[in-house]
């Protein structure tokens, strides 16, 4: 079982390396944003696997926290690429 | 061109309450498990930031009419009062105290004065984070 979990950790680390390649090489900004979001999901799965490996339930809050932060970060980045402003003052009078 | 953020706004209405409840949970769980006032306050601030992303400053100001600088001051006041309250009982500064109480809905619950200090930390973190975001983002 432990061997299986370590194999999963290895595969996930390889996928994180792939996401990092896309993050460095990505020709456009949305490629990099999606790569960052996927790195967040990969980190969530890694934390889950390590919480099984260390036999401790205390990492489970980190998973939800990472998911929330990755979501908010991705929304902020995509709003910036779409509108050029992250938080508007007044949506109705904004052009 | 008027942008249409229907999916973002509808999902924000659900996700905001999930983050809010998780923030409350992580605040009250801080005594026995990881968490506490700082992480809970940051999560609450990020929930309000999500509202700000989906809507705008004017709408969020109408929905949550808080003065965030005042919230910071009240948090500091609560934390300092909890710390200084121990001086009244002739014990050193910052001495905490706890006892068990019977509440009508919750049953036998322990109240620790460290929780009130943590409420102060929570309010200070929420207030400072949102003050910074309002100062940077909200140029009229």
Show the tokens assigned to B4.
């249409």
Structural domain boundaries of chain A?
A: 1-83
For residues A93 and A47, what is the distance between their CA atoms, to the nearest angstrom? 44
For residues B123 and B38, what is the distance between their CA atoms, to the nearest angstrom? 9
| Closest approach of B71 to chain A, Cα-based (Å) | 22
For residues B121 and B20, what is the distance between their CA atoms, to the nearest angstrom? 17
For residues A65 and A55, what is the distance between their CA atoms, to the nearest angstrom? 20
Q: Answer yes or no: do B19 and A79 touch at CB < 8 A.
A: no
Is the Cβ–Cβ distance between B39 and B26 less than 8 Å? Answer: yes
Q: Answer yes or no: do A89 and B53 touch at CB < 8 A.
A: no
Contact list, B46 vs chain A (CB under 8 Å): 68-69, 72
What is the model's pTM?
A: 0.86
Kindly report, residue by residue over B11-49, the tens digit of the pLDDT: 999 999 999 999 999 998 888 888 888 999 999 999 999
Is the Cβ–Cβ distance between B87 and B80 less than 8 Å? Answer: no
Kindly report, residue by residue over B41-77, the tens digit of the pLDDT: 999 999 999 999 998 888 888 888 888 999 999 999 9
Whether complex ipTM tops 0.90:
no
Neighbours of A79 (CB within 10 A): 19
């Amino acid at each position: 079982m432990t061997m299986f979990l370590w194999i999963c950790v290895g595969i996930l680390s390889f996928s994180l390396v792939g996401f990092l390649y896309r993050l460095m090489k990505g020709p456009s900004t949305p490629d990099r944003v999606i790569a960052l979001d996927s790195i967040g999901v990969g980190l969530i799965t890694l934390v889950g696997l390590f919480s099984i490996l260390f036999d401790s339930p205390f990492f489970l809050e980190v998973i939800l926290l990472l998911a929330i932060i990755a979501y908010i970060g991705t929304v902020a980045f995509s709003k910036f690429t779409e509108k050029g402003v992250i938080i508007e003052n007044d949506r109705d009078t904004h052009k | 061109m008027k942008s249409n953020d229907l999916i973002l706004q509808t999902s924000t209405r659900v996700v905001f309450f999930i983050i809010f409840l998780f923030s409350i949970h992580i605040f009250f769980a801080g005594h026995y498990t990881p968490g506490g006032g700082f992480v809970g306050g940051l999560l609450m601030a990020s929930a309000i930031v999500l509202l700000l992303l989906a809507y705008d400053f004017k709408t969020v100001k109408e929905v949550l009419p808080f003065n965030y600088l005042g919230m910071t001051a009240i948090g500091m006041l609560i934390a300092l009062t909890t710390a200084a309250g121990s001086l009244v009982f002739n014990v050193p500064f910052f001495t905490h105290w706890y006892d068990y109480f019977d509440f009508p809905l919750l049953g036998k619950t322990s109240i620790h004065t460290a929780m009130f200090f943590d409420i102060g930390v929570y309010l200070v973190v929420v207030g400072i984070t949102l003050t910074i975001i309002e100062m940077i983002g909200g140029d009229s």
